[in-house]
Amino acid sequence: MSAATRAVILGLVCAGAASAALAQMTARLRTFDSELVVDASPNTPQLASFGYPGQPLWKNRTSEVLIPFVEISRTQVPCNWTFNTAASHADGNRVVFVYESSNPHLRLSWEWRTREAYGPLEHYIRIENLDTRELWIPMQDSLAFDWQIDPREPLQQLFVEKGANTPSAAGTHEVSFENGLHWIGTSSTYGDIKESDSREIIPWTLIEKKDSARGGWYAGIEFSGRTRIALAREGNSLKGALGLDPDPAPFRTRLAPGEAFDSPVVFLGGFRDGPDAAGNTLRRWVRAVLGNPDTWKNPNYPLVVNNSWGGGMEVNEQIALRMIRDSAELGVDMFHVDAGWFRDVGDWYPNPQKFPHGLAVIADDAHKHGLKFGLWVDWTQAGLSTEHGALNARDPKVRDWMVTDVPADWKPEPFKGQTIDLGVPAARQWAGQEVERIVTDYHLDMLEHDGYLVAHGCARTDHPHAAPDPLNQCVYKTWGAYFVDSSNSTDVSYHAVQAYYDIYSQMRKKHPGLFLEVCNDGGRMVDFGSAAHGDYFSITDTYDPLSNRRAFFDTSHVLPAAMLESYVEKWPTPRIENFRYMLRSGMMGWLTIMTDTNAWSAEQHAEAKKEIDLYKKELRAFIRDASLYHVSPRPDGVHWDGIEYWDAERKRGVVFAFRGNGEEKTHAFLLQGLVPSAHYSVQFYDHSGTDRQISGEDLMHDGLGVTLDVANSSELIFIQQSK
Kindly list the residues in this chain that would bind Zn ion in the complex (CB under 5 A): 421, 458, 460, 463
Least Å from the CB of residue 363 to Zn ion = 35
Question: What is the spatial distance between Cα 589 and Cα 564, in angstroms, rounded to a whole number?
Answer: 5
| Smallest separation, CB 465 to Zn ion (Å) | 6
Residue 567's φ and ψ, nearest 5 degrees, are -90, 130
Residue 503: name the closest of 407, 326, 377, 319 by CA.
377
Question: Residue 172: which of 558, 567, 543 has the closest Cα?
Answer: 558
Residue 635 CB, shortest distance to Zn ion, in Å, is: 41
Of residues 365 and 421, the one with the C-beta less far from Zn ion: 421
Nearer Cβ to Zn ion (248/331): 248
CA distance 123 to 96: 10
- β-bridge mates for residue 443, sequence order: none
Nearer to Zn ion by C-beta: 416 or 460? 460
Residue partners of 483: CB distance under 8 A and separation at least 6: 193, 403, 456, 457, 475, 476, 477
At residue 189's C-alpha, the angle toward residues 184 and 190, to 5°, is 80
CB 108 within 8 A of CB 127: yes
209 or 252, CB closer to Zn ion? Answer: 252
Q: Alpha-carbon distance 304 to 365, whole Å?
A: 18
Residue nearest to Zn ion (CB): 458
Beta-carbon contacts of 408 under 8 Å, excluding residues fewer than 6 positions away, are: none
Closest to 608 (Cα-Cα) out of 619, 616, 620, 600? 600
CB of 216 to Zn ion, least distance (A): 40
Q: Which is nearer to Zn ion, 276 or 421 (CB)?
A: 421
Which CB atom, from 30 or from 460, has the smaller least distance to Zn ion? Answer: 460
Residues 386 and 401: their CA atoms lie apart, in Å, by 17
Phi first, then psi, for residue 219 (nearest 5°) are: -150, 145
Q: Identify which of residues 259 and 618 has a Cβ nearer to Zn ion in the complex.
A: 259
Least separation in angstroms between CB 354 and Zn ion: 34
Q: Least Å distance between CB 449 and Zn ion?
A: 19
Helix axes 576-584, 602-614, angle to 10 degrees: 40
Least gap, CB of 382 to Zn ion (angstroms): 13
CA gap 125, 143 in Å, rounded: 9
Q: Where are the alpha helices (DSSP H) in 117-195?
A: none
Strand partners, 59: 49, 148
Minimum distance from residue 123 beta carbon to Zn ion (Å): 29
Which residue, 67 or 466, is less far from Zn ion as judged by CB?
466
> Angle formed by the axes of helices 317-330 and 360-368, to 10°?
20
CA 596, CA 591: separation in Å to the nearest integer? Answer: 15
Helix (H/G/I), strand (E/B), else coil: 320: helix
368: Cβ contacts below 8 Å, ≥ 6 apart: none
Strands 252-255 and 182-187, bridge-based pairing: unpaired
Buried b (16+ CB within 10 A) or exposed e, 47-77: bbbbbbeebebbbbeebbebbeebbeeeeeb
Kindly tell me which of 116 and 421 has the beta carbon lying closer to Zn ion.
421
Question: Can you point out the beta strands (E) in 486-579?
Answer: 515-518, 536-538, 564-568
Cα–Cα distance, 670 to 410 (Å, whole number) = 56
Q: State which residue, 209 or 456, has the beta carbon closest to Zn ion.
A: 456
Task: Tell me the closest approach of the beta carbon of residue 472 to Zn ion, in angstroms.
Answer: 16
Judged by beta carbon, residue 281 or residue 473, the one nearer Zn ion is 473
Between strands 155-160 and 204-209, the pairing is: antiparallel
Q: 123 or 463: whose CB is closer to Zn ion? A: 463
Name the minimum Å distance from CB 418 to Zn ion.
Answer: 12
Q: In DSSP terms, which residues pair with 334 in a beta bridge?
A: 305, 372
Shortest reach from residue 452's CB to Zn ion, in Å:
14
Question: Which residues sit opposite 657 in a β-bridge?
Answer: 642, 715
Nearer to Zn ion, 40 or 424 (CB): 424
- Of 421 and 611, nearer to Zn ion (C-beta) is 421
Neighbours of 279 (CB within 10 A): 23
Distance from the first to the final alpha carbon of the chain: 33
Q: Are 336 and 372 in contact (CB under 8 A)?
A: no
CB of 469 to Zn ion, least distance (A): 14
Closer CB to Zn ion, 226 or 336, in the complex: 226
Choose among 145, 118, 117, 151: nearest CA to 37.
145
Shortest approach of Zn ion to residue 379 CB, angstroms?
Answer: 17
Q: How far is the CB of 139 from Zn ion (least distance, A)?
A: 19
Between 64 and 421, name the residue whose CB sits nearer to Zn ion: 421
> Phi, psi at residue 549, to the nearest 5°?
-70, -35
Judge contact between 67 and 144, C-beta under 8 A. Answer: no
Beta carbon of residue 473, minimum distance to Zn ion (angstroms, whole number) = 12
Output the smallest distance, CB 73 to Zn ion, in A. Answer: 22
Distance of closest approach, residue 187 Cβ to Zn ion, in angstroms: 20
Instruction: Give 230 or 484: the residue with its C-beta nearer to Zn ion.
Output: 484
8 Å CB contact between 164 and 192: yes
